[in-house]
Amino acid sequence: MQKGTSTAAGLLLGFALDRVFADPRRWHPVAGFGTAAAALEQRTYLDARAAGVVHEVIAVGSVVGFGVLAARGGTVATALATWTALGGRSLARAGRDMADKLDADDLTGARALLPSLCGRDPSVLDADGLARAALESIAENTSDATVAPLLWGGVAGVPGLLGYRAVNTLDAMIGYRDERYRKFGWAAARVDDAANLAPARLTGMLTVLLAPLVGGTPVAAWRAWRRDAAKHPSPNAGVVEASMAGALGVQLGGRTRYRHGVELRPTLGDGRPPTTTDLRRAVRMSEAVQCGALVVAVLTAALERRRCSRGSGS
């Protein structure tokens, strides 16, 4: 089987595995990488950007190297790497669980669930704050947990899938602006921003196109993206959150409390504050965008096969 065809088939199979089995509860490879990266940090940490660059190169480079070797396994290897890199089914399930708990006025359960979605301090959030935090996380993680790995898989196969997941995991671990990681985590944050530039914009475009599926309009989603995305401190989260806000007709942003402190985020969209009904709509949008991204990734892999075939024949 030719490389591009094998990659496309593996992406389809891996996406199906994620839909059926979601993330493994135990022995997840990403958790193993996180453990290894934390151990590496004990040796590489210095309060300097250069040390963070070294940490990033070693951690991500080793995963990409492993991916190059694993790619020899063809379709099966691509499928397993796709399943490892994706988190779409788990993301949708967490969003629905959060909506269920909020509808049942179970704030204790909702607060306990929030850390599985984002890094905010749930103890200070009421029901509205929890709904907004969960919805913003659904929007951002639709790109990070599904669109980005699929797109990188379509472009670069197994090394792209695993390398992206390593980059994104390191950013979640050390890409903070607190005292410890402001310098050491700089490289992790910047590399993650670069890796997500194209996926975030693909997520935004799919959200605009698919807005009618959740009762919105492409015009509203596009207007919110173009008007509000640049206000966000992240070059990528602003795109996906603003387009989601416009598609749903809600307003996101504002005072946001993280574990490392409080940030006053700009508002995105010009509707009402989100409710649990909107959270469920966001989950539906997320799943639709994930399917759209799969189509784009498969087509990308097929085009890569054609390009390689032409190159080998010339």
Whole-number pLDDT of residue 173? 94
Question: Does residue 50 contact residue 80 with C-beta atoms inside 8 Å?
Answer: no
For residue 84, give the amino acid letter: T
Whole-angstrom CA distances from 280 to 78, 93, 212 are 31, 10, 15
Q: How many CA atoms lie within 13 A of 10 on its CB side?
A: 33
Indicate the domain borders of the chain.
3-313
Whole-number pLDDT of residue 261? 61
Backbone angles phi, psi at 272, to 5 degrees: -85, 170
Helix (H, G, I), strand (E, B) or coil at 252: strand
Whole-number pLDDT of residue 117? 87
Whole-number pLDDT of residue 276? 94
Tokens of 25: 């509860």
Helix (H, G, I), strand (E, B) or coil at 183: helix
Question: Does residue 202 contact residue 219 with C-beta atoms inside 8 Å?
Answer: no
Question: Does residue 240 contact residue 142 with C-beta atoms inside 8 Å?
Answer: yes
Residue ranges in the chain whose pLDDT is less than 50: 1-2, 314
